[in-house]
Chains A and B, each alone.
Chain A
Amino acid sequence: MTKLKTQSLKKRQSDLANTNKQLEILSNGIFQNGELPTFKNKIAETNQFPLKAKALEILQINVGYMCNQVCEHCHVDAGPDRKEIMTRETMQQILDVVKTTGAHTLDLTGGAPEMNPNFRWFVEEASKIGIKDFIVRSNLTIIRANKKYYDLPEFFKKHNIHVVSSMPHWTRGKTDKQRGEGVFDMSIKALQELNAVGYGMPDSDLKLDLVYNPSGAFLPGDQASMEKDFKKALMEDFGIQFHNLFAITNLPISRFLDYLIASENYEDYMYSLVEAYNPMAVENVMCTNTLSVSWDGYLFDCDFNQMLDLPVNSKSKHISEYKSELLEGRNIVISQHCYGCTAGAGSSCQGSVA
C-alpha cells in the first residue's frame, strides 16, 4: 500500500487553491519591482512576443483530477478527494474533433486517467480513429492499486498505447519523498509487469517512456545523461528496461508553488529559471502546437494554463465549438510560470525541446 503524502490544496482550503492568488504571486514581488524581467519582456527582447499558436499537432486531454496519489509537487493539485471527472458526453465531443484534426498525438492525462469510469471506453473509441501516437500518462502505482486495474498492461498493449510514467529517481528515498511512501516499490513492480508484456524492450513497438522531474527546488540536469543513469540503475537493480527519459522542469504553480514558498525557495527558484532562460527553447515550446482540454471540455494553451484557469485567447473556447481556423494563430496566454518551459534545454510534456 502507498501512504498518501498530503492532501490537495483544495481540501486543505489553502489560499493557493485560488488560481488568482497564484497569478498574483507570479506577477508581484521580484517581477513587479523590476528585479527580474517579466516573461513577456524577456521574450520581447528577441522579438518572440507574442507567442503564436501553429497548426495543432498534440491534443492533450485531462480526463479528471482524481488520483490515487497526492504527490508533493503536483501541478494539477490532484488526489483522491478531487471529484472533477470528464463525462462520456465530453469524451464524445473530443472524439468528433479528433476525427477532423491533423493532430498526430493524443495525450491522456489526469489525475490518474485510468480512474475515469469511461477511460477504457474512450481508449477503445479513440483507437479506432487511428492516431499515430496515443499516449496515456500512467502514474504506475494505479496498475497495482486495485484488482480491477491489474490487467492494464494487457489493455494498453491491445490498443498499442504509448505509456509515459513518472519516476522522480532510481532510488526509493527520493521517489517516496516526492510521491508518497511505498510508491517506489509499487512503481517498480508495475514497470516489471509492463516489461513482461513487451513494453520498453529495446526493439519493441510498445513504447514505455519515463518522466523525470526534480524532487526539490532545482532544475533538471541534462536529459541524455539522466537517461543513461536511470537506465543503468534500473537495469542493474531491478532488470527494468524503458525507451526514453523525459526531463521535465517543475513549474512554479499549484502544490509546487506552495512548496517553494513554504520552504523559502521561491525567489531563488525564479532566479534559477530566469538565469537559465534559453531563447532557442522558446521556438519549440509545446503551447505552440498543443491544445489542452480540461475535464469539462474547455480549451487551454497547455496543462499548466488549465490549472491556472487561463483559457485560450480565442472565440473557440470549448471542445464543442472547436474551430481550427479560430485557434490557429491565436496569441498564447503567458505569465511568469512560462519560464519553466524555457529554462536550459527547455521543457515540455515530451521532455527537452532545445
Chain B
Amino acid sequence: MSKTYYDPADLRKFGKITEWSEELGNKFFEYYGKVFEEGALSAREKSLIALAVAHTEQCPYCIDAYTKDGLQRGVTKEEMMEAIHVGAAIKSGATLVHGVQMMNKVNKLDG
C-alpha cells in the first residue's frame, strides 16, 4: 500500500474506475470529454477554468493535469496564476460575503 493518500501515478489509472462500474464510468468519461471540446468557450478558456477550479477544489491530480494541459495549449504562467487568483478571489469572497449574515445576526440579537 502507498504510504501517502495521494500518488501521482494514480492519475494514469483514472480510467480504471470504469472497471467496477462500466456504464456509469463510461458515461462520466463521455460527458467529461464533451465538456472540454471547443464550444461557445474555446478549449483553451475551459482549460484555464479547470485549472482555477482544480485549485479551489484542492485536487492535486487536477492541478497536475491542467497545468500540463495549459502548457500544451501555450498558456503562459502569468495566465495560469491569474486564473488561480480568480478562484482564490471567489473562495475568499464566498467566505467574506457570509460576513453580512454575521452582521445581520448581530444587529438582530444585539442591535
Q: Which residues of A contact B (CB under 8 A)?
A: 169-171, 173-174, 212, 214, 216, 218-222, 225-226, 229-230, 271, 275
Contacts and interface: CB of A to CB of B under 8 A. Distances in A.
Interface in B49-100: 68, 71-74, 76
B12 to A, nearest CB: 6
A271 B12 contact: yes
Contacts of A174: 76
24 contacts: A169-B74, A170-B74, A171-B76, A174-B76, A212-B74, A214-B71, A214-B72, A216-B71, A218-B68, A218-B71, A218-B72, A219-B72, A220-B72, A221-B72, A221-B74, A222-B73, A225-B38, A225-B42, A225-B44, A226-B73, A226-B74, A229-B74, A230-B74, A275-B12
A170 B42 CA distance: 19
A221 B44 CA distance: 10
B61 to A, nearest CB: 14
Contacts of A229: 44, 74
Interface in B12-71: 12, 38, 42-44, 68, 71
A222 to B, nearest CB: 7
A95 B100 CA distance: 81
A221 B66 CA distance: 13
Nearest to A220: B72
Contacts of A222: 43, 73
A225 B73 contact: yes
A220 B76 CA distance: 14
Contacts of B68: 218
Interface of B: 12, 38, 42-44, 68, 71-74, 76
B73 A221 contact: yes
Nearest to B71: A218
A174 B71 CA distance: 11
Q: Which of B38, B43, B73, B74 has the most CB of A within 10 A?
A: B74
Most B CB contacts (10 A, CB to CB) among A174, A216, A221, A225 go to A221
A272 B68 CA distance: 11
Contacts of A221: 72-74
Contacts of A230: 74
Given A218-B68, A226-B73, A275-B12, 20 more contacts: A169-B74, A170-B74, A171-B76, A173-B76, A212-B74, A214-B71, A218-B72, A219-B72, A220-B72, A221-B72, A222-B43, A225-B38, A225-B42, A225-B43, A225-B44, A225-B73, A226-B74, A229-B44, A229-B74, A271-B12
A173 B74 CA distance: 12
Nearest first, the 9 A-B pairs at minimum CB distance are: A221-B73, A221-B72, A218-B71, A218-B72, A218-B68, A229-B74, A219-B72, A226-B74, A171-B76
Nearest to B44: A225
A229 B68 CA distance: 18
A221 B68 CA distance: 10
A277 B71 CA distance: 19
A334 to B, nearest CB: 24
A169 B75 CA distance: 10
Nearest to B72: A221
A218 B42 CA distance: 20
A327 B19 CA distance: 47
A225 B38 CA distance: 10
A226 B70 CA distance: 12
Output the residue of B42, B43, B44 with the most chain A CB within 10 A: B44
A228 B42 CA distance: 12
Nearest to B64: A268
B103 to A, nearest CB: 45
A346 to B, nearest CB: 15
Nearest to B73: A221
Contacts of B72: 214, 218-221
Contacts of A170: 74
A219 B68 CA distance: 9
Nearest to B8: A268
In this complex, the member of B12, B72, B73 whose beta carbon has the largest number of chain A beta carbons within 10 angstroms is: B72
B47 to A, nearest CB: 9
